Structure 1
Amino acid sequence: MEFTHLGRTGLTVSRLCLGTMNFGPHTEEADAHRIMDTAHELGINFFDTANVYGWGENKGRTEEIIGNWFAQGGGRRERTVIATKLYGDMGEWPNEGRLSALNIRRAVDASLKRLRTDHIDLYQMHHVDRATPWEEIWQAMEVLTAQGKIIYVGSSNFAGWHIARAQETARARNFLGLSSEQSLYNLLERSVELEVLPAARHYGLGLIPWSPLHGGLLGGVLRKEREGVRRASGRSAETLEKHRGQIAAYEDLAAELGHEPGDVALAWLLSREGVTAPIVGPRTLDQLHAANRALDVTLDAKALERLDEIFPGHRTAPEDYAW
């Protein structure tokens, strides 16, 4: 396993981040525990979750599964950099969601209880809250840091100007501010290259891409379709039809390179400046092992150029849309 620092911090994390969103809804607890044990065996020390995972009436269930795993001991908690999120409504009553100081206080205590730990390594805002001033948010996060309940703060799904506003407000308070940004980023969806990625680099945030295979569309979907293994449906089917030519060219290139399409997609992200660790969210052990293969894939300049030809990216703003 390769390791790196999370942005400008001294925190060392694995180049792959274990996403846990499937734990509960799609992966039974015992299987989830085996996946987490195997992740440690592979050297993955960075785990990501959220208080709403489990969804519907089972919100919080994913954190509980991780907490039960931590409770088994054996250094599981000590070897894990655990990241969770808040923002989504956890109930129907006012102040059970978003980023008010009141909800931040309540949400962190609830997550700590479910995770069965005394601190959260990376506490992430799942979305920006335009109704709450940054002074209020940072004051609440400063209190949690002073209490030892959280160590680092991260954002998720922020625009570039949100990152700038957050960091400038934190700087005025002599607070570290954000250490990371978690964004949708993959070969098919590269809009973060316009402003989010440049902002993250400027402020020293580590970028944590989610959906690195774009819901499986970069994981060999056309081959699986031909083999009768999988057929896209819903929004995935619409996206597939829109980009079928690109995805076909991409799968042909992966075959030419001698790698699985999913391995190429992850290796491409790992090659991007500013990317800390793509989030891989396996439902099974086989999917975890498949994701780990990407660490052995090296894409040369020619391969990277051809990927850019298939999936054009963006230059740094404002050049891409100004001249």
Structure 2
Amino acid sequence: MGKYVRPIVQVDAARPDDAVQLAGGWGWFTHVEILSRDAPPQIRPVCDVAPDALAPLTAPRAAVAGLTMARPRTMGILNVTPDSFSDGGRHMSVAAARAAAQAMQHADIIDVGGESTRPGAARVPDDIEIDRTAPVIRALKAAGIGQMISIDTRKSAVAAQALAAGATLVNDVSGFTFDPALAPVCAAQSAPVCVMHALGDPATMQNDPTYDNVLLDVYDFLRGRIAALVAAGIDRTQIIADPGIGFGKTLDHNLALLARVSLFHSLGVPILLGASRKRFIGTLGGAETADQRMPGSVAVALAALKHGTQIVRVHDVPETAQAIALWRASMAGNADG
């Protein structure tokens, strides 16, 4: 597929005159890493980058449903499932889900999911997933929850009911490959979407996942899915890309993606990263259970922001928001970040 251009992102307060801003955000870069499938990586100054390759990196990202991408954003996870790996069963009632959402006042987006996508999880029938999610979304809107609400689903019927209940964004872990009717539903409603990479179905995705080159394979998948979504009538400016940490990836795969996640800015769309409480954090951080992995999850979120990632999807919203505020102020050298 030729050359891949990865900006080497910096956020230092001292910025050289030849630096260019990354995607209208808080990062900048003077050099890029040129990647390919058949040659070693090369470091080049930004002046050597062809204009058509540089444009997706420097063009400011459009607001997604009115939410600007000029500063870091958080997506709070609200699972209304009995079996999610971290918080399954905690928010099954409408009242419990509403209380959890109200505790996420620092989140920019609240992501409601009614089907666990943990490794080994089985498919949930559409009607059950609808019964879990649509009433919760209606209750959040009725309670005056002001943040954008997204529906975490692979299914068109579930998405349609969630959008009717007040959701704005559709977040599909299958990259819009599971249900061919889902993209047309989003296009018809002019709903923004998040397209994620996963290798296989949740039930089987961790059964010896293999890649030729995990970074470039995931990039090519997302590039192809974005093109398909645009062809289906979804506005490119309303598409978010997620490399899918932990979805059909080993620990080494996850780390390879995290180390060079800034490559995905070349897609020309905002990047979302969801690594919160995942198994590799426990493995590296010595935290056996998911509820012990908040510190490691925050560390990964901040590392992603250093690469210019626009959205982090997290369980621990207050702690992550506090960390981001201090990270921004410390890097900028002022309270405005």
Question: TM-score, normalising length from structure 2?
Answer: 0.52
Q: Residue 206 of structure 1 aligns to a residue in which SS?
A: coil
CA RMSD after TM alignment: 4.4
The structure whose residues are more often helix, as a share, is 1
Report Cα offsets for 1:246-294 as digits up to 9, x if no partner. xxxxx9xxxxxxx955433322222222x1222113xxxxx44333332
Q: CA deviation at 1:209?
A: 1.3
User: Contact 1:47/1:82 (CA < 8 Å) preserved in 2?
Assistant: yes
2:305 is aligned to 270
Structure 2 matches for 1:1-323, cutoff 5 A?
Answer: 8-11=61-64, 12=67, 15-21=73-79, 23-25=81-83, 26=88, 27-28=90-91, 29=93, 30-39=95-104, 41-42=105-106, 44-50=107-113, 52-53=115-116, 56=122, 64-72=131-139, 73-76=142-145, 79-86=147-154, 107-113=155-161, 115=162, 117-118=164-165, 120-128=167-175, 141-142=183-184, 144-146=186-188, 148=189, 150-157=190-197, 159-169=218-228, 176-177=235-236, 179-185=239-245, 189-192=254-257, 197-198=262-263, 200-215=264-279, 217=281, 221-222=285-286, 231=288, 260-273=295-308, 275-281=309-315, 287-298=316-327
Q: CA deviation at 1:168?
A: 4.1
Q: CA deviation at 1:37?
A: 0.9
The verdict on how the C-alpha distance between 1:45 and 1:67 changes in structure 2, with shifts beyond 3 A counting, is: farther
For structure 1, list consecutive stretches of 5 or more residues without a partner in the other structure. 87-106, 225-230, 234-250, 252-258, 282-286, 302-323
Aligned residue type for 1:208 = L
What percent identity do the matched residue pairs reach?
Answer: 7
Question: TM-score, normalising length from structure 1?
Answer: 0.54
User: Contact 1:68/1:116 (CA < 8 Å) preserved in 2?
Assistant: no
User: Contact 2:197/2:222 (CA < 8 Å) preserved in 1?
Assistant: no
Cα distance in 2 for residues equivalent to 1:53 and 1:47: 16
The verdict on how the C-alpha distance between 1:155 and 1:167 changes in structure 2, with shifts beyond 3 A counting, is: closer
The verdict on how the C-alpha distance between 1:69 and 1:37 changes in structure 2, with shifts beyond 3 A counting, is: farther
- Aligned length, in residue pairs: 228
Aligned residue type for 2:193 = V
